[in-house]
Amino acid sequence: MVSLPSLADWVVDARQRTLDLVADLSDQQLLGPSLAIINPLLWEIGHVAWFQEKWVLRHAGCHAFAAKACHPALRPDADALYDSAAVAHDTRWDLSLPSREQTLAYMEGVKTCVLDELARGKPDAELVYFVLLSVFHEDMHTEAFTYTRQTLSYPPLAGLGDAFIPGGMFLLGATPDEPFVFDNEKWAHPVTLKPFAIARAPVTQGEFTAFVEEDGYQRREMWSEEGWRWREGAGTVHPVYWQSQGSGWWRRDFDRWVPLEPHRPVLHVNWYEAEAYCRWAGRRLPTEAEWEAAASAEPADGGQSLSPRKRRFPWGDLPDRQRANLDGASLGCVDVAALPGGDSAFGCRQLLGNVWEWTASDFLPYPGFVVDPYQEYSQPWWNTHKVLRGGCWATRARLLRNTWRNFYRPDRRDVWAGFRTCALEA
């Protein structure tokens, strides 16, 4: 028998996989052309939620607990829209489908109700069966989403989705037992984090290409006031080392031009570009406290809180060069899905190595800061620089740990910097 925590985790994981597979698509792509071999994705993701609602909430949920009445339909039109046995395939493009936002809200509502059912107490075998049926049904559809993307020539999905990090108290910074730390890491101090969801991998070149090709650099609403001033002054419409050749993009890799590698992290973008991408994608940059928690914290209470223990590296306490792209060994970045052995406790990949990651945080001193003998290292740069974390492929491994802070002005594009994103709400 699947345990209740695992069953709830599967419900959450299946829904997150669905969302990840369509998150980067435009409203036009979510509808797509009418073809006999695929479904409109906007219809199909709603259908997945409807199937779960029908069988878990409106069927099994009526009988799982003796005192509980049947769950009312969350949308009165759901049966007319999403019942695949009743709605002819060719008509699904012509339906008055809910908007993307309405569909996502429906999917979230169904998931929340299912999790509430599982949290009520020990369900009977019938409820467990239909929850599993709905999860496996969603798993089969998420495979279909991938071949739909292939059929329609949509960009490949290189990301690994989001990791959920529970909120709570977290000790940000280094501890005195480290053999050497820089003054800006001193010392670990408590901060309170709200629950958040952070991308398991950095933003890829393929993902950033969509921002460029949807005129992200020319759309004023995507940029902060300061960022727009920088963009206009720089006169840029794409990352600094990119150029368009024929039907594709190329980037300059030292002294040669190479086709853009869609599964590698975007790099040589500055903080303003990262911020604009996030606004376009409906995401945000993580704070440095969130980044460090994703890298070093461990789950407690079945993943509902943070353990007091911190890891020195994402994978544990001992250095291991085989788990991160460091020391210049690869002569460049690797795909964002590479090196799973370097995952953090929450499943975030490549938090050390590959590419420096911008955070939302200004470079500021920690409480009680005392300058070290090298007085010019940190103190002159407070408030004018942004914090980056994690190192890049050229960083020496012996330099890094989860608490190491880098800092650059937000307009710098020459460094090996990219970023990962957070959901606006966990």
Same domain (yes/no): 263, 307: yes
Name which residue leads in pLDDT, 19 or 201: 201
What values do phi and psi take at 257, rounded to 5? Answer: -100, 130
Same domain (yes/no): 374, 419: yes
Same domain (yes/no): 99, 186: no
SS3 content of the chain, % helix, strand, coil (to 5): 40, 15, 45
Same domain (yes/no): 146, 175: no
Same domain (yes/no): 64, 109: yes
Same domain (yes/no): 53, 78: yes
Mean pLDDT of all residues in 377-393: 98
Same domain (yes/no): 189, 338: yes
Q: What is the pLDDT of residues 308-318, one digit of tens each?
A: 999 999 999 99
Q: Which domain holds residue 246?
A: 155-426
Same domain (yes/no): 318, 214: yes
Look up tokens 């908007």; give the residue: 99
What is the DSSP track for 61-75?
A: HHHHSTTPPPPPPSS
Q: Structurally, how many domains does the chain consist of?
A: 2
Same domain (yes/no): 97, 171: no
> Given a cut of 60, is residue 63 above it in pLDDT?
no
> Given a cut of 90, is residue 195 above it in pLDDT?
yes
Which pLDDT band, with edges at 50, 70 and 90, does 64 fall under? Answer: very low
pLDDT value of position 66:
39
CATH code for the domain of 94: 1.20.120.450
Say which range, 60-64, 241-245, 316-320, has the weakest mean pLDDT. 60-64
CA distance 208 to 278: 10
Instruction: Confirm if 205 and 265 have CB atoms less than 8 A apart.
Output: yes
Same domain (yes/no): 139, 197: no
Residue at a domain's end among 151, 174, 209: 151
pLDDT value of position 158:
56
CA distance 42 to 106: 12
Same domain (yes/no): 111, 188: no
Same domain (yes/no): 203, 123: no
